[in-house]
Amino acid sequence: SDAHIRILKAKLRILQEELDQLSHEYYKKDDENANLCAKIKELEEDHTRLQKTTNIQQTQIEKHKALAEDFSQKCDALQLQVSALNKEIEHLKRSQKQAAGVHSTAEVRLNRALEEVEWLKTQLNKSKQMNKDKISEEHESRERLIAEKNTLQKQKAELIVGFKKQLKLIDILKRQKMHFEAAKLLSFTEEEFMKALDWGKL
194 pLDDT exceeds 70?
no
Give dist(CA 150, CA 130) in Å, integer.
30
Q: What value does the mean pLDDT take over residues 175-183?
A: 75
103 pLDDT exceeds 80?
no
State the DSSP H helix or E strand holding residue 117, giving kind and residue range, or none if neither.
helix 100-201
Closest CA to 5 of 187, 154, 200: 187
pLDDT tens sequence across 33-53:
888 888 888 888 888 888 898
pLDDT band at 171 (very low <50, low <70, confident <90, very high): confident
Give dist(CA 92, CA 87) in Å, integer.
9
- Its domain, for residue 128, covers 2-201
pLDDT band at 198 (very low <50, low <70, confident <90, very high): low
Give dist(CA 113, CA 81) in Å, integer.
8
Q: Fill in the DSSP letter of residue 97.
A: T
CATH number of the domain where residue 17 is located: 1.10.287.1490
149: amino acid identity, one letter: K
Q: What value does the mean pLDDT take over residues 68-80?
A: 83
State the DSSP H helix or E strand holding residue 99, giving kind and residue range, or none if neither.
none
Give dist(CA 51, CA 45) in Å, integer.
10
Domains identified in the chain, total number = 1
**Residues 191, 2 contacting (CB under 8 angstroms):** no
With b for 16 or more beta-carbon neighbours within 10 A and e for fewer, the 182-191 pattern comes to: eeeeebeeee
Q: What value does the mean pLDDT take over residues 70-90?
A: 83
> What's the predicted TM-score (pTM) here?
0.32
State the DSSP H helix or E strand holding residue 96, giving kind and residue range, or none if neither.
none
Q: Fill in the DSSP letter of residue 98.
A: S
Give dist(CA 35, CA 33) in Å, integer.
5
